[in-house]
Amino acid sequence: MALRYQVVFGDAQNMSELPDESVHLVVTSPPYFNAPFDYPDLFPSYEAYLRMMEKVARELFRVLASGRVACIVCDDVLVNGERYPIVADLTRLFIDAGFRYRDRIVWLKPEGYIRISRRSGIVLQHPYPLYFYPDNVQESVLIFQKGRFDYASVPRDVREASRLDINEYQGSKWYLNVWQITNVLPLQGRLEEGIAAFPEELARRLILLFSYVGETVLDPFLGSGTTMKVARQLKRSCVGYEIDLELLPVIREKVGMEMASLLDDATFEVIIRDDARHFRFWLSERIKQRRSAARNAKRKAKES
């Protein structure tokens, strides 16, 4: 089976490389607005962020085949003490772009997740009403559909080749709308460092549940390349858009582009458009500054 992997470095608001109705599934997580430890000050305003997402949603509706599904991993974000309702706003925006709102799955992370901010600790210092802010251990997987799927359109051999493992489906409780999956741990020096990558298991479940072998999966915010790596393992083709050209070496390594013909009949193509940007280094410097400011503030609070 010939599989194709294409990475386009450029802004996903324009996916002109893709013809209408040419992809069969979207799996992605958009940037988390200006999340302080992922994307500090990336967008000039929340309105600008939503305008960008609105254009991406319209492009996704255009390129997705009829009846197919877009899975958007996202969460509300706290910036400078203000909560931005990203889950609600993206839901509305995708519906306005023409999608049906099919489902929402909660991705539950382990309680020991070391990146969560311990807001609940305020109650330990002030055990009185109105000091409570919960620690967040979940994200949403929003599932949108373009019309309805024609199950009879799938050839019998493709259907059989894509059969799900019912023991795993039941044993790992895929059937619930809460999925317990360990997040990618933010260990220093790991390939995904500073990229807010989602776990391979999340992409794996979505690709197995919503696409057939040999079809094409699209990730408009490719990041480290998780969706593409897993699509390859599951014998699906994949197209990814990523604006930050600094991620090219990470994607190359994660997807295993150098291992091309050794593993399977795969072809790889990298397109670098004029609208590709460079901001990973700039972001990581800003995150370092913020972390050290947060540490200093904590130390001062302890000393006083």
Ligand X SMILES: C[S@@+](CC[C@H](N)C(=O)[O-])C[C@H]1O[C@@H](n2cnc3c(N)ncnc32)[C@H](O)[C@@H]1O
Which positions touch ligand X (CB under 6 A)? 11-13, 29, 31, 52, 192, 195-198, 221, 223-224, 226, 241-244
Helices 226-233, 200-210: crossing angle, 10 deg rounding: 50
Nearer to ligand X, 24 or 240 (CB): 240
> Quick check: 64 and 216 in contact, CB under 8 A?
no
93: how many CB neighbours lie within 10 A of its CB?
Answer: 20
Nearer to ligand X, 146 or 225 (CB): 225
Antiparallel, parallel or unpaired: β 100-108 and 138-145: antiparallel
* φ and ψ of 162, to 5 deg: -105, 15
CA distance 297 to 73: 32
Nearer to ligand X, 203 or 266 (CB): 203
Nearer to ligand X, 153 or 248 (CB): 248
CA distance 27 to 195: 16
Nearer to ligand X, 39 or 144 (CB): 39
Spatial neighbors of 254 by CB under 8 A, at least 6 apart, are 191, 192, 224, 225, 226, 228, 229
User: Helices marked H in 19-45 — which ranges?
Assistant: none
We find the least distance from the C-beta atom of residue 267 to ligand X, in angstroms, to be 22
We find the least distance from the C-beta atom of residue 160 to ligand X, in angstroms, to be 30
We find the least distance from the C-beta atom of residue 223 to ligand X, in angstroms, to be 2
We find the least distance from the C-beta atom of residue 217 to ligand X, in angstroms, to be 12
Nearer to ligand X, 109 or 133 (CB): 109
Q: Which residue is nearest to ligand X (CB)?
A: 223
Q: Retrieve residue 45's tokens.
A: 């305003």
We find the least distance from the C-beta atom of residue 301 to ligand X, in angstroms, to be 31
We find the least distance from the C-beta atom of residue 61 to ligand X, in angstroms, to be 16
